[in-house]
Structure 1
């Protein structure tokens, strides 16, 4: 069976949470929504978010640069930043892993940028990996792509017992904040930060064993989360109805059974829920009738880093690995609206 032997995470140096709040309030100045924004930001459960930009480059106080203004850079310039910063942040996470051993495959997930040669090739070269390393790049799937990356690694290991897979997620969401005058997109932007994670998946040794997958797509929900490429980066739409739709979906008996594997929720030791926002975590906790505190690892990641798209779930799993749970469930939500997940449990190794 495939298992995560090691997992490490990395964040950039700039904590821009408070600056973003001040900037967003400037966009709403004179509107009655300003006080609503401030109240909702205070209740978000987010205290820190991190960006690969420097404070000067971000120009947060002036509302210029990547955050709008007459000289806001286009998509090409943002992708130039991604091409340099994404591999650097990914390598920062990889450097925290123990001895990599002989890596046979790389699976990279990222939805916040494009570059060719890809981040996977750049990483392989920088690490000095063998020329015959096999690569998979998972792009533009959004927040649930970490599940897809781990499931892909699981399939590789189950088909090639000697495989040793390096799984990487890297997201630079802060390259794409847009100057807006409406509260909904500003609140959506208030969720996102940058982060990267790296994991080793193999068929031997101790770690989180990866079991069966979970997948569900919600009907009539394609417009709830969208991610469009425009002239000034990628523009996200995150509907406020997402938590209610998630709660309704997981209340369905067949979806609940798929999530729990037919077990009672009390029999599951760990819940790795994508920290997409406080309201999403509340929807999952209430919808599955989980005990208070069941999602503390997810809430801690949200508090300390915000939503880092596909990397977020990896940050949660890093915390959960320390508990060595016998049974666990990982779930993430993203464009579609779709839910992706997998079951897992700690193994002491062979």
Structure 2
């Protein structure tokens, strides 16, 4: 079992209010202005960080131009994250054995962690594990995959880097309801997590022990959420059935997952949930029989930062660490994403 030692996040310097974004999109699509305002208000998002200045989005080019911008911003954000994370832990880059990256919003070959190895003094035999396409569940899935590795390498330290610049996927020609909803929710940010093996010297100074993780796949649901890859980049696929899927599938999945660990929801002291959107958060609260207050970090993240895909749940985890939970208290991490599928992780306060 691995241990989550610490989490840091960073965001592009451009922070724009929801009203400013609504006005900009309304000026691009004047015939959709009523719907733009409606979706932007119902999202409950107050403001978002953007990879580039708001006025520059009208000049976004094809998928090559967008990918170049993604890589430039991603390298800057994650360089800051890594330096801050290692400084906090008192580690050197050479102390890291594995770098795992997750994203669903940018393409780069060589991948992001390779670019970072040319800027930061990681050892040449550092292992790299780029993960693309998991979307919103990438934060929890990334923790689970790193934990799987550390089970076999208990003396080592690993990094999970999540980078999502959702705004760079904006499609000017797509006036679908899915894209209108996407412009009201999705935002930009990055997160880095330091995860240690059981026998690492700093493991006892970590925050949460990773007890168990599980993946759940729902057949024939690929049009629920994802992207169509077009010449101008990523065109959003988003169904209104997500809350229904949460009710019908995620609730029994939670029961199954916890039962496999010989506990029930009543044994779980806190939740670390990807925000998704208001309807999704309300449904997760309902199926877990928890008050909205118990998801306050998810709600605050959504309102202050928007939906940052895989980054959001790690931002919520960062805020949960600040709560100073009681020793041995159990927590459940949860996120859903393209396929459609969900990912869960059971953690325990060290």
* Same fold, judged at TM 0.5 (above): yes
How many residues align structurally?
Answer: 333
Q: Which residue of 2 aligns with 1:22?
A: 23
Q: Counterparts of 1:59-208 in structure 2 under 5 Å?
A: 64-66=58-60, 73-97=61-85, 98=88, 99-101=90-92, 102-179=95-172, 180-203=174-197, 204-206=203-205, 207-208=207-208
Q: Distance in 1 between matches of 2:258 and 2:24?
A: 40
Tell me by how many angstroms 1:321 deviates.
1.3
Tell me by how many angstroms 1:27 deviates.
4.9
Q: Distance in 1 between matches of 2:110 and 2:333?
A: 31
Q: Distance in 1 between matches of 2:242 and 2:27?
A: 26
The TM-score with structure 2 as length reference comes to 0.89
Q: Counterparts of 1:226-245 in structure 2 under 5 Å?
A: 226-245=226-245
Q: Distance in 2 between matches of 1:57 and 1:89?
A: 19
Please state whether the residue corresponding to 1:117 is helix, strand or coil: coil
Q: Tell me if structure 2 keeps the 8 A contact 1:301–1:312.
A: yes
Please state whether the residue corresponding to 2:320 is helix, strand or coil: helix
Q: Distance in 2 between matches of 1:162 and 1:48?
A: 42
Please state whether the residue corresponding to 2:293 is helix, strand or coil: coil
- Do structure 1's residue 50 and structure 2's residue 43 form an aligned pair? no
Tell me by how many angstroms 1:316 deviates.
0.7
Tell me by how many angstroms 1:171 deviates.
1.0
Please state whether the residue corresponding to 2:144 is helix, strand or coil: helix
The TM-score with structure 1 as length reference comes to 0.89
Q: Distance in 1 between matches of 2:294 and 2:79?
A: 32
Q: Name the CA shift for 1:161/1:250 in 2 (closer, same or farther; >3 Å).
A: closer
Q: Tell me if structure 1 keeps the 8 A contact 2:332–2:345.
A: yes
Q: Distance in 2 between matches of 1:262 and 1:290?
A: 20
Tell me by how many angstroms 1:53 deviates.
0.6
Q: Name the CA shift for 1:25/1:56 in 2 (closer, same or farther; >3 Å).
A: closer
Unaligned runs of 5+ in 1: 59-63, 67-72
Structure 1, 181-190 or 275-284: larger mean CA deviation: 181-190
Q: Which residue of 2 aligns with 1:61?
A: none
Cα-Cα RMSD? 1.9
Structure 1, 77-86 or 242-251: larger mean CA deviation: 242-251
Q: Distance in 1 between matches of 2:159 and 2:117?
A: 10
Q: Name the CA shift for 1:126/1:242 in 2 (closer, same or farther; >3 Å).
A: same
Task: Give the number of the structure whose residues are more often helix, by fraction.
Answer: 2
Q: Which residue of 1 aligns with 2:213?
A: 213
C-alpha deviations, 1:226-262, integer Å up to 9, x for none?
212111111111111111211221343x543325755
